[in-house]
Chain A
Amino acid sequence: MAFDPLSELPKLVYLVIAVAAFLAVVGVLLLVVDHGPRSRRDWWQALCFLGPAGALLLAGLVYPVLRTTLLSFRDRAGTGWVGWENYAWMFTQPEIVLVLRNTLLWVLFAPALATGIGLVYAVLVDRSRHEAVAKSLLFMPMAISFVGASIIWRFVYTHRPADEPQIGLLNQLVVVFGGSPRQWLLTEPLNTLLLIVVLVWIQAGFAMVVQSAAIKAVPAEITEAARIDGVNPWQMFWRVTLPMIWPTVAVVLITISVQTLKVFDIVRTMTGGQFGTSVIANEMYNQAFRYGELGQGSALAVFLFVLVIPLVLIQIRNLRRTREAQ
């Protein structure tokens, strides 16, 4: 089908409308600010500029959190109260307990592996001859969306019967070394670990770049002093580099942990939550939207929220501490 700019005109008009609406809002806002009272002018300005952001925050974050929490104590249709029943269901239904276990596996393995691999890689390539190339190789998967990466890895794990040519990389390797092809995504809990590999593949680049920057920021005097004192590379890493960059490592760990708790796309794209691979975010979507179990879906959402909060708090505290240190 040929591209006909005229048929796309309504879209362009929508675009113009959207931009115009935005400009109109800003224009009106500026006018209002300009016409404010003379006294307490700074308060007026702060109110005008923070007001819209505050209102959006209320409507987009605070209200949904409160409503979801309320819904988690209500029944399927969100009309009658059921007390703690949805939470009791979550921790007793074998299927959901499996979901919680999978999420635990994700949180235990994914952040540690991604951060660890990123750190080791950063140290190994630091000041080497091909550092830029080596770094971009690991960083490149970051440019791929979770869904895209999942599709790529689903091909890696693809299985064909033994008498047919394998199209999956992993099974081809197994066959080359004399094994017989396996259904990688069908066996528990191996399949969850194989899904974790995808997240690690994407996030290791991020971990490496951030930690590499931190390593480079370690003052040369300190490393030189250590070298004069005669440390070997092993001691250098454990006694000097790691303590110096620890705040950065913590930030990376926590950022990836939050990502991991929310993981949804990978599971949904690769297995659809089948074969015992479902995680909280996926099950929450299933319950609330596919099964119409609003109460149970909300309870899962609240639980996920509660899990994320401490991580965010630690993050904020770290941030404040580094700011104070500066």
Chain B
Amino acid sequence: MSLSLPPPRRRALAAAALPLALLASGCAYLEGGTNQAADPGSADCAPFREWQDIGGEVEIYASIRDEEGEATQAAWADFESCTGIDIAYEGSGEFEAQIQVKVDGGNAPDIAIFPQPGLLARFVESGDALALPAPVRERAEEGYSEDWLGYVTHGGELYGTPFGANVKSIVWYSPRFFAAEGYEVPETWDAMVELSDRMVDDGFTPWCAGIESGEATGWPVTDWLENAVLREHGPEVYDQWVAHEIPFDDPRIVDSLDRVGDILRNPEYVGDVQSIATTSQQDAGLPILDEECGMYLIGSFYSSNWPEGTDISEDGDVFTFNLPAIDEEVGTPVLGGGEFAAAFADRPEVVAVQEYLASADYADRRARAGSWFSAHRELDLEALHNPHDRFGAELLREPGTDFRWDGGDSMPAAVGSGTFWRGMTNWINGDGTGEVLAYVEQSWPS
């Protein structure tokens, strides 16, 4: 038929057909090349029997990148090759903003790993995130305590399975330096202040501080304040404060922030207060190694910031102690955080991956792949990479421990990742305690 066309038409047709052919062959090339599965019958594949015969591809989107992102993927590599389920992983530094864009654009990932339960709650409210199917829910309830699951329970339904965990109520110090100077790990807040004074008398700077973190500048101070509230007034007051049942600038909160101010805004303790806001929180703890400052309050995730070869152990270069109690009756509740895996699809392969991520087997493999721990009840402590992860995992596991999630993560984002950080930054720069807390209070969305 095309033969009957006059020559220019034929050329035009060819011009249109050639790219189409290229298009088709290019797409065909990309379709092919699935990874060769391991022998499904082998002993290595035994833990994955129940998920074989499903196949398919699952997209996971998370904020975990670089080395940690690689370890996250390495831990499910055997799952992939034994079940034939492909996991397409994307880690992004802009997760918090991009997940909204992806979901709004009808481009939601199958599974997203949320670092903040408050952010996940937004998608539960909008109806985008799906409640856990019964088999996943069972596994989650088997593996994790109610403290953890409570943060992702909405209207009686569970919306996520806990993933990694971190502990934020700990203080980094150098056991080597403490031993050399005859300092002892303090058992009470007052003892900690006394120790600080002693360090000052000995000519040392007791506290490291730095809160610069790009647009998140200020967050390390929110950890300080949350810890102080939790230890001074107890978990109940803390919960009311986070849920905004008491005003953000309640007199009790003012007390706690002043208590933090006695340390962080004390030039004898931290050196130049003015430079805290421009010192990166990632670098601020490193002077501990050179004995330029003594203690640094920051989460367990800081362990990846130490230079290679640093001995992180109870009598090594650096280690952590539990932030001591202010009030004996309250004790030392654990402040921490972590991630939750939530699903936006319910295809069988997605459910299979959800089930697997909630299992102890994944937790163990992930722990073996690199510095990491979770709150899973059956996590094998022997699999943990270093004594410090073990310290954190044991804190979470201690019977009778009150665990509280970092409050900023469950506040409305406009406060929790906006005015709370900004307010604390202004406070470090000299604004009054009452003034700053009132500023955060008035910014709370009605």
Contacts and interface: CB of A to CB of B under 8 A. Distances in A.
Interface of A: 10, 13-14, 16-17, 19-24, 27-28, 30-31, 34, 76-77, 93-95, 158-161, 183, 185-186, 268, 272-275, 285-287, 289-293
B26 A13 contact: yes
A114 to B, nearest CB: 26
Contacts of A185: 278
A183 B275 contact: yes
Contact of A24 (B19, B101, B122): B19
Given A27-B12, A28-B16, A268 B215 contact: yes
Given A13-B30, A289-B96, 19 more contacts: A17-B26, A23-B19, A24-B23, A27-B17, A31-B13, A34-B9, A76-B445, A77-B126, A161-B272, A186-B274, A272-B216, A274-B422, A275-B426, A290-B413, A290-B418, A291-B413, A291-B414, A292-B413, A293-B413
Nearest to A289: B97
Contacts of B101: 289
B29 A293 contact: no
B358 to A, nearest CB: 27
Contact of B425 (A10, A27, A274): A274
A268 B214 CA distance: 8
B63 interface: no
B194 to A, nearest CB: 27
B277 A186 contact: yes
B133 interface: no
A289 B100 contact: yes
Given A274-B218, A274-B422, A289-B100, A17 B23 contact: yes
B414 A293 contact: yes
Given A28-B16, A287-B414, A21 B23 contact: yes
Contacts of B16: 24, 27-28, 30-31
A104 B27 CA distance: 51
25 contacts: A13-B29, A13-B30, A14-B26, A20-B19, A20-B23, A22-B19, A23-B18, A24-B16, A24-B23, A27-B19, A30-B16, A160-B275, A161-B271, A186-B274, A186-B277, A272-B215, A274-B425, A275-B277, A286-B418, A290-B97, A291-B413, A292-B100, A292-B413, A292-B414, A293-B413
A292 B122 contact: yes
A30 B125 contact: no
Main secondary structure of the interface of B (DSSP, over half): helix
Contacts of B17: 27
A274 B215 contact: yes
B217 interface: yes
Interface in B289-341: none
A93 B446 CA distance: 13
B22 interface: yes
A24 B20 CA distance: 6
B52 interface: no
A16 B218 CA distance: 47
B274 to A, nearest CB: 5
Contacts of B277: 183, 186, 274-275
Interface string B136-162: 000000000000000000000000000
B22 A16 contact: yes
B19 A161 contact: no
Interface of B: 9, 12-13, 15-20, 22-23, 26-27, 29-30, 96-97, 100-101, 119, 122, 125-126, 214-218, 271-272, 274-275, 277-278, 412-414, 417-419, 422, 425-426, 429, 442-443, 445
B105 to A, nearest CB: 12
B439 to A, nearest CB: 8
A326 B342 CA distance: 64
Contacts of A20: 19-20, 22-23, 26
Nearest to B412: A291
Given A161-B271, A186-B278, A274-B217, A290 B417 contact: yes
B275 A159 contact: yes
A30 to B, nearest CB: 6
A83 to B, nearest CB: 15
A301 to B, nearest CB: 15
A276 to B, nearest CB: 8
A31 B15 CA distance: 9
A31 B19 CA distance: 14
Given A77-B126, A186-B274, A274-B218, A95 B419 contact: yes
Nearest to B413: A291
A160 B418 CA distance: 27
Nearest to A273: B215
B417 A93 contact: no
Contacts of B414: 287, 291-293
B275 A17 contact: no
List the 8 closest A-B pairs by CB distance, nearest first.
A27-B16, A272-B215, A289-B97, A20-B22, A24-B19, A23-B19, A291-B414, A20-B19
A20 B9 CA distance: 20
A185 B277 CA distance: 10
B429 A17 contact: no
Nearest to A15: B26
A10 B126 CA distance: 37
Contact of B275 (A94, A161, A290): A161
A60 B272 CA distance: 50
A66 B289 CA distance: 57
A49 B189 CA distance: 75
A49 B289 CA distance: 67
A93 B413 contact: no
Contacts of A274: 215, 217-218, 277, 422, 425
Contacts of B417: 290-291
Nearest to B98: A289
Contact of B26 (A16, A158, A272): A16
